[in-house]
Each structure stands twice: as structure tokens, then as C-alpha cells.
Amino acid sequence: MNSPETLEEIGEHAAIAALTANLNAVGDDCAVLPLSQTHDLVLTSDPLIQNIHFTHEATPQQIANKAAGRVFSDFAAMGAEPQYLLINIVAPPEQKLQTLEKIYAELSILCKKHKVEIVGGDLAQGPTLELHVFGTGRVEKGTAILRSGANPGDLIYVTGPLGGAQKTGKHLTFEPRLEWGNALRESGTVTSMMDISDGLATDLRHILKASNVGAELDLKKLSLIGDPKEALFDGEDFELLFTAPPGAVFQDLKKNFPIIGKVTANSLELSLEGTSLEGNAFEHFKSQKT
Amino acid sequence: MNSPETLEEIGEHAAIAALTANLNAVGDDCAVLPLSQTHDLVLTSDPLIQNIHFTHEATPQQIANKAAGRVFSDFAAMGAEPQYLLINIVAPPEQKLQTLEKIYAELSILCKKHKVEIVGGDLAQGPTLELHVFGTGRVEKGTAILRSGANPGDLIYVTGPLGGAQKTGKHLTFEPRLEWGNALRESGTVTSMMDISDGLATDLRHILKASNVGAELDLKKLSLIGDPKEALFDGEDFELLFTAPPGAVFQDLKKNFPIIGKVTANSLELSLEGTSLEGNAFEHFKSQKT
């Protein structure tokens, strides 16, 4: 190719890979860094952009829920505890202050619920409404659940039904699985974990790559909403996807999460009920081929 | 007013005040929070938006310098040490990847220089190029320099020439004063500090309000570039503005910073060479009256 490539041509995932090639990027839902003798520091950030992540029909409550929820879900995926948020809001000059005040009020309610404090941020002028939420928190030293710990023979679990998140509006109203993420980490049996934001198959591939393993999926026990393809390749379900050895007991959870497959030694090979699953993920920027 | 107000009508500062009214917002350049027995956690975030903070003529190096520099300058203003950055990039589909790669390469160079690590972030689709930089760092417990410590009789200093930052391009090429900020904190004599991003008069008013004091400015010793009004009410000089009692010695700095005024007991009253200075700051969103 002669001219430099655009994001539309190369797609989101390849662009991120190119940009972060020279960084010690951790590739997990959050970055985990040394903090003290007892805890690690946990950091993440997520953008929420009008016409990309929500439409003009979304209510202030839904916008707040998705903006903070995406960050809380990242913490849940590590089994970590969010503590502080900073929020950059971008808005056009004609933006009604009242709407922003409602969004902020809802953010405050969500933060109170999860014992998180909003401690900073900024308000800047731009072409469309955006919220950039930055979260810091902590986890007991060395206990954060990464994507890289899955072993052949492990069973694969999810914390709830998958699919239809766009049509049902779950992508705006989901509950971040903070308590379950923490309890799963405390059980000491979970080997890898992440949240499902791009579809089960797409996200599971991140675990397979990080752990250098394969997986066979069997979705009989999974509650599927709508077309299975949505659950596999679209997403924004914000349930937790995790692995644990057979016989693992999730203490204090009093909940049986459905087993939806098992980890194999066939590096990066992913199959569904015996048929190989090729990559077909939704990607931002790229024109989608149907 | 019958209809809800827009950001254009109310202006940036009043909008931020309305949004953060119910938060325990610290109102300093960074949030300072308990971290460990020896250190406080320091957090800040800054957006950089095309056509607001830079034009299409800015080079990748300038974009990177301003994006990370604004965050580093916030740390400098507290005398704190930045440690980790997360960077959300927003870009349209037609954005050339090559430009983003150059911006990222320049960000990496700047971070290496200041011993800071880029540990995360995201890439999202939106209408225009934006960088949202989140910084975390630390400072020796209880030693961060706030805006609230100025006392009547203190002298007022700046770390360099002011004015003309837009015309000269300094707003894109400035050097964040991290070393000076740290040395000024370590001197133990500085009573209040912030960085100048909205003009000397505008920013000094933040110190006056936080400290409940007034100030008399005398700019004879200050190197002014261009129209003094720019130095007073526009800005983006990213020099440090600070106060210290007469006779203060700034150890290890081997530098004489110009004294540009003194703190008075006349709460919130700001004068320049005997004449009262009324608020006339540049504000984002608001139509500017000349």
C-alpha cells in the first residue's frame, strides 16, 4: 500500500496493536502496578462517545450507568476494588447544562453505591458529547486475576445470559459484576478472567492468546438472548468470563454459574460444538462485512 | 430564564462549578488522596481536542508535548512526581494511523524523559482527534503544595516569562516545570502554588479564593511577551505561580525567580500597580467580548 493507512482500513484492534507495540502494555482489563507492601494499584480508562456508544435517545441515567459501569466492569474483571474516578466531559457549546447536571447526579449515585469517590476531571468544548472516565483502585498484592492464567482442562464460565445487549438496552443498563469479581478472586480457584465487551468468542480469544491455550465451547447451559451470533461476536453484555479447574468451589457466592466450555491445549484454536469458530468480531472504525 | 441554559450561555467556569457543587472536589491542579504511610496519591486528567487546544497545523511532536505536558504541569504545580499515564485517543475513521503512531512515539519519548510509564488507555471512534491523558503519581505524605496556603505578606513569584503563548507557539512547546515544582516543595517555604493555564490574573484569583486573601501585582520585574493583557487574561504559559514569605530561600534551585507582587489581607481584591483588576478571563464555550 502506497499511502498511509487510515483507521477505517486497518481496524481498531490492529491500530491498538500498532500503537502499543513499544509499550509494556499489560493487555488486561486494567493495569496492575506496585502500590504498597499489601496492595497493588489498579488503573483503567474508558471513553463513552455519543453516536458510537450511545444515541441521542439514551437518558442521563443510562449514559452515566454505561460510562461508570464500563470502568467498574474492568475492575470486576480483575477482582479489584475501584476507589476514585476522574471524569473528562466533552460537550458542544449548545449542550444543555441541565442534562450534564443530571448525568453527574446519576454518576454520584452510582459511585456512592460502590463506595467510589469522584475526585477530579475536566469540562472541554468539542463537537459531540463524550465522557472519559478514569478509575483508580486497588487489589490485595499479587491476587489480581489476569487473562494469562488459563490451563488446559479448566472449565469456562460466564456470570449471566449473553446476547441481545443492543436490542434489549442491556448495554446501557447493565450491572457491573464487582461483588462477583471480588468473590471469584477471593475463592482462590479462578485462573483467568475478563469482562465481555466485544462478544464471547472475541473476548475469549484474548484469554486464549494470553494463556497460550485453546477452547471448546458448548453453549447448551448458557441462556442465550436473540441470535447466538450476537452473543459470540457482538457483545457489550458486561458479564464476567472466567476459567477454573474442575471441582472448583466459589465460596460465599451461593451461585452456580453456567459452564460453557473447557480449555484445551490446542493453542489459539476455538471451536463451538465441534465446529471451528473463525474471527468475525465487531470492530470499531472498520466497515462491517455481513 | 425559561429554557435550560446551554454551556455557551453559562460559560466553562460556572458550568464546572454547577457540576461539581455536590462533590468533595479539591479545586487544586491535582487531587491528593491517602496512599500509604509515607506517600499521598496524586491524580489528574486533561483533555486535548483538535480545533480547541491545537489546530491541524500542529505537528505530532507538538500534540504529544501539549497533551502530556498539561498533565505533567499539573503534577509540577503540586510539587508531585508523575508515575503512570493512561491515554484515551479519539479519532475519526479517516485518521491516518501513521500520525497516531508518531504522536505515540513522541509521548513515549516524553515519558521516558520524565521516568513515567504509559500503562493503558483506549482508542475510540469520534468526530475529531482528541487525546485524554490521565496521570497518577505521588508525593511525600502531607507535603503537596495546595492553592489554599497563601498568607498576607507573602511574595508572589512566577517561574518564567508570561504572555504571547498562542502567537509564539509556547502553548504547544512548553517545558513542564516538574523539577522546579519538586524543588520548590522541598524548600519547605512555598505556601501556595499552581500552574498558569488561563492567564496570570485568572489563575491568581484561584489562589486568592482558596486562601481567602488578596494580591497587589507589580509586573516591573516580569518578562512580558506581547500585550500584557495576554499574560493576565489569556495564558497557556504553563509556568508555575507560587507564594512564599519574604526572605524565603529556594534551596538547590540556584535560580532567582522574579517577584511580581505580594499577598494582602483584602480578601479576593486583585490590583495591578494600584488599579483594581476586574475579571476578564478567556473562557471556553462563552462567546468572547472584546
A92 in Cβ contact with B128 (< 8 Å): no
A43 in Cβ contact with B119 (< 8 Å): yes
Does some domain include residue B287?
A: no
Q: Helices marked H in A79-168 — which ranges?
A: 97-113, 165-168
The CATH number that applies at residue A192 is 3.90.650.10
Are both B223 and B115 inside the same structural domain? no
Residue of B24, B66, B85, B136 to mutate, interface with A, max A Cβ within 10 Å = B136
Look at residue B287 in the predicted model and tell me its pLDDT.
56
Look at residue B286 in the predicted model and tell me its pLDDT.
66
Which residue stretches of chain B have pLDDT < 70? Answer: 1-3, 22-26, 251-252, 279-290
Are both B159 and B135 inside the same structural domain? no
Are both A112 and A165 inside the same structural domain? no
Residue in chain B lying closest to A7 (CA):
B93
Does some domain include residue B145?
A: no
For residue B286, report the phi and psi dihedrals to the nearest 5 degrees. -70, 140
Are both A239 and A207 inside the same structural domain? yes
Could you say which of B110, B140, B170 is where a domain stops? Answer: B140
Comparing CA positions, the residue from A147, A165, A135 lying closest to residue A69 is A135
Which residue stretches of chain A have pLDDT < 50? Answer: 1, 288-290
Question: 3-state class of A224 per DSSP?
Answer: strand
Are both A168 and A223 inside the same structural domain? yes
Could you say which of A77, A111, A140 is where a domain stops? Answer: A140
Are both A131 and A166 inside the same structural domain? no
Look at residue B249 in the predicted model and tell me its pLDDT.
81
Does some domain include residue B1?
A: no
Look at residue A252 in the predicted model and tell me its pLDDT.
66
Does some domain include residue A125?
A: yes
Are both A76 and A184 inside the same structural domain? no
Distance CA B34, CA B42 (A): 9
Are both B136 and B213 inside the same structural domain? no
What residues contact A48, with CB distance under 8 A and at least 6 apart?
A54, A63, A66, A67, A70, A130, A131, A132, A133
Could you say which of B140, B164, B197 is where a domain stops? Answer: B140
A66 in Cβ contact with A166 (< 8 Å): no
Tell me the shortest Cα–Cα distance from B148 to chain A, in angstroms: 17
Contact at CB, A94 and B36, closer than 8 angstroms: no
Are both B160 and B264 inside the same structural domain? yes
Burial grade of A290 (CB within 10 A; 0-12, 13-18, 19 or more): exposed
Residues of B in contact with A24 (CB under 8 A): 117, 119
Q: What does chain A come to in residues?
A: 290
Does some domain include residue A224?
A: yes
ipTM of the complex: 0.93
What's the number of domains chain B is made of? 2
Look at residue A280 in the predicted model and tell me its pLDDT.
56
pLDDT, tens digit (0-9, with 9 covering 90-100), for B128-185: 999 999 999 999 999 999 999 999 999 999 999 999 999 999 999 999 999 999 999 9
Tell me the shortest Cα–Cα distance from A79 to chain B, in angstroms: 18
String of b and e for A221-241 (b: at least 16 CB within 10 Å)?
Answer: ebebbeeeebbbbbbbbbbbb
Residue B203 structural domain: 155-276
Are both A111 and A170 inside the same structural domain? no
Are both A32 and A111 inside the same structural domain? yes
The CATH number that applies at residue B101 is 3.30.1330.10
Are both A193 and A231 inside the same structural domain? yes
